[in-house]
Amino acid sequence: MNDRDRGQDKRGRGRGSDNRGRGPDGRGRPSDRRGSDRRGPEGRPAGPPLPDDVVASDLDQEVRRDLLTLDKANADRVARHLVMVAQLLDSDPELALAHARAARERASRVGLVRETAGIAAYNAGEWQEALTELRAARRINGGTSLLPLIADAERGLGRPERAIEIARSEEGRSLTGDEATEMRIVEAGARIDAGEPAKALVTLQAEDLAPGRTGTMAARLFYAYASALLAADRRDDAVTWYMNAAAADVDDATDAEFRLMELSEDMSPDTTSDDIASAVEDVDVVGAIDETEGPSGNGVGAASIDDSGDKDSVDSSVDASGDDVVESETTTAPAEVPPTSSTESSDEKSASSSTASTATTPSAPAPQPSAPAPQPSTPAASSAPSPEPQAPPEGSLVDHYEALLLDLDGTVFAGKEPTHGARETLDALDLPQIFVTNNASRRPSEVAAHLNSMGFSATEDQVVTSAQSAARLLSEHVEPGSRALVLGTDGLAQEVREVGVGVARSADDRPAAVIQGFSPDTNWSTLSEAALAIRAGALWIATNTDATLPSERGLLVGNGSLVAAVANATGAEPLVAGKPAAPLMADAMKRSGVTNSLVVGDRLDTDIQGAHSVGLDSALVLTGVSTPKDLLLAPPEQRPSHVIDDLTGLLDDEETVRIGEQPDWDVEVSGATITVTANGEEPAHEALLPALAHAAWALLDGRDVEAGPVDPSDVAITSGDPDVRSQIDKLGVGDLR
């Protein structure tokens, strides 16, 4: 199957792109231009060379503001790499990605940089890397504009059911304008991947399919509709809509004309390619669907059922969501994938999107081929029955433990969406699962309800919150019937009442204690009441000290920042209940009923350090806050025993994901340089990071190093194998600066 069968656009981007600009090494440019192993004056990898005529001021001034958190020299170099990404995104996706990785190495906590790296990886067909970067950017910046790209990257990884879940989620449905169109194009492609072409047609019929429209977005929509028709074995209608796409494509962004040429080979012998091209030039409006009121209410009806009863026709009363489609008894095999997501809407909103395209800023790709079409026709996960709980695979990570103590946000879910594989993995495991959260603003019943709304099976007895642990801690330090000044939500106040302590709201009530949890209503007045009570001798307990609070918009001020304000005003330090302190973890252990539990979380400074506080093993998941580089830099009290990509890694072989020496990877240390070599043709990729962490910790601790501990800024990780270097680049651990 060639590239055009996957909806390849004419500029050759994405997987299967053409060979324009290839250098002697066959990778797009002479190999020494990537410069991945060269070191700059600051000790960081130099990245690809930067032309002298590319300067930081070439980057849009509004975009440069996002780099103000960096020192000037670093900000200038990052800006120049971003300029190069914008210049090379179309002509040399691989080199653009190399520049994006170099920028990420220097500014991994800047949302703009992570977004650019995600777009560059997506454009180069590096789907897993794209997912990682786009999700990180979304956690930092918030918003929903990246959802279509995230969903399409899931398709690229052969997970159409996950793409459909994202499209049908509350956030996916809330998209408007071109972003909504992008998401429907992605969803339609995913439904074709899953063997549901009729549902793909209905999904696209929610859009404006008036054939006289022109422009890139209209061309891509018509192209996607043509591909869905072809998948539904309606070849003649597909040809008509490829003509519509070609007529609308005034910017020459799709390969609709090439598709028409290919399809013409199987048409009547009297029909020539010139006839097709002439028809495209002359077409103004070509109707392939009835102009009756359709499901979208836009005057475009669903495909009509002709007198013969077309086997793939769809009833016009079908709901536009594509979830309840009336299909015939005969179905057809899925066709290859239509062109999919671009964030063109971001290009048109430069004031609101950091990657909006100007001549000097990186933009999301225009019509982009999706991943190779997967063969299985798996239904969407939301409609599939949950697997029966079963014993974990013998030798797997989870097989070594009697219970799981699971962090929530960033581990089990991200906002309102499950993390990859979380629901399916947890549903399939027959062992105690306790959800442990530092969030003190919601009661266990509310947390369980949130989990259930995403398809998990959870009861409030499985939830342990820092509010519960703080209330228990309070009851151990004050007499029953005492009063405590509560800074927090009504949920925290109720937890206090349930341990026999009264609730005060003013320092004038002479409370015996102050208990402080997060509430969006906390203000100067309430903080001042707490300060007055603490100065008067009240015991002070904090539910948790997380400095930030994840949200869909990014990282907000967390309870730890509010606690710090009171500490600064009083000179006091609170007793802390939540992670990484022991009380919450001890309560979770007690709730599980076993002693051999595995703590699973995404933050080294709370989840993993909390596991250390009670002597439990832990697994870091890379779906949330902490990154692979953070792992390699972790101090001893924040080092996990295992590291996995996401919760599906619980089913991986335990020895493979345990941090330590790995037989599949040969790691040599010389001075401050770690050199990695793969042993065998198919090494376990999930074992690479555990092996690197083991070696990096030894260097940082001074183990086996005569000169003592090595400064992190001096550590370099490399390989003589280009494929291994590529994996190191994807992990973002080329240097530990």
Q: Quick one: average pLDDT of 241-262?
A: 89
Closest CA to 13 of 365, 521, 465: 365
Give pLDDT tens digits for 484-501.
Answer: 999 999 999 999 999 999
- Decide: residue 376, CB within 10 A, 0-12 exposed, 13-18 middle, 19+ buried: exposed
Give pLDDT tens digits for 162-216.
Answer: 999 999 888 898 898 899 999 999 999 999 999 999 889 988 988 888 888 899 9
| Measured CA angle at 189 (ends 260, 124), to 5 deg | 85
Closest CA to 370 of 3, 1, 16, 6: 6
Q: In the numeric block, which tokens belong to residue 22? A: 């290839």
Cβ atoms 687, 727 nearer than 8 A: no
- Helix crossing, 93-106 with 111-123: angle to 10°? 160
Q: Quick one: average pLDDT of 56-65?
A: 86
* Whether pLDDT at 414 is above 90: no
Predicted confidence at residue 295, as pLDDT, reads 30
Q: In the numeric block, which tokens belong to residue 490? A: 């009504």
Q: Global pTM?
A: 0.54
Give pLDDT tens digits for 122-140.
Answer: 999 999 999 999 999 998 8
**Cα–Cα distance, 319 to 325 (Å, whole number):** 7
Q: In the numeric block, which tokens belong to residue 718? A: 């490399």
Predicted confidence at residue 555, as pLDDT, reads 77
* Whether pLDDT at 17 is above 70: no
Q: Quick one: average pLDDT of 337-358?
A: 35
Predicted confidence at residue 531, as pLDDT, reads 97
Closest CA to 201 of 226, 179, 176, 220: 226
How many residues does the structure list for the chain?
A: 737
User: Which amino acid is residue 187, in one-letter code?
Assistant: E
* Whether pLDDT at 328 is above 70: no
Task: Give the distance between the most distant pair of CA atoms in the chain.
Answer: 97
Give every CB contact of residue 172 below 8 A, 6+ residues apart in sequence: 144, 147, 151, 166, 183, 187
**Mean pLDDT across the chain:** 79
Burial 472-502 (b: 16+ CB within 10 A, else e): bbbbeebeeebbbbbbbbebbbebbeebebb
Cβ atoms 173, 322 nearer than 8 A: no
Residues with catalytic annotation?
Answer: 407, 409
Strand partners of residue 434: 405
* Whether pLDDT at 150 is above 60: yes
Sorting pLDDT into bands at 50, 70 and 90, what band is 465? very high
DSSP one-letter code for 70: S
Instruction: Provide, rounded to the nearest whole percent, the portion of the chain with pLDDT above 90.
Output: 57
Predicted confidence at residue 448, as pLDDT, reads 95
Cβ atoms 10, 704 nearer than 8 A: no
Cβ atoms 183, 175 nearer than 8 A: yes
Give the 3-state secondary structure of 282-344: HCCCCCCCCCCCCCCCCCCCCCCCCCCCCCCCCCCCCCCCCCCCCCCCCCCCCCCCCCECCCH
Give pLDDT tens digits for 357-411.
Answer: 333 334 333 333 333 333 332 233 333 344 456 677 889 999 999 999 999 989 9
Strands (E), 177-281: none
Predicted confidence at residue 297, as pLDDT, reads 32
| Positive or negative: CA dihedral 143, 145, 147, 153 | negative
Give pLDDT tens digits for 596-624.
Answer: 999 999 999 999 999 999 999 999 999 98
* Whether pLDDT at 324 is above 70: no
Between 282 and 682, whose confidence is greater?
A: 682
Strand partners of residue 260: none
Predicted confidence at residue 704, as pLDDT, reads 65
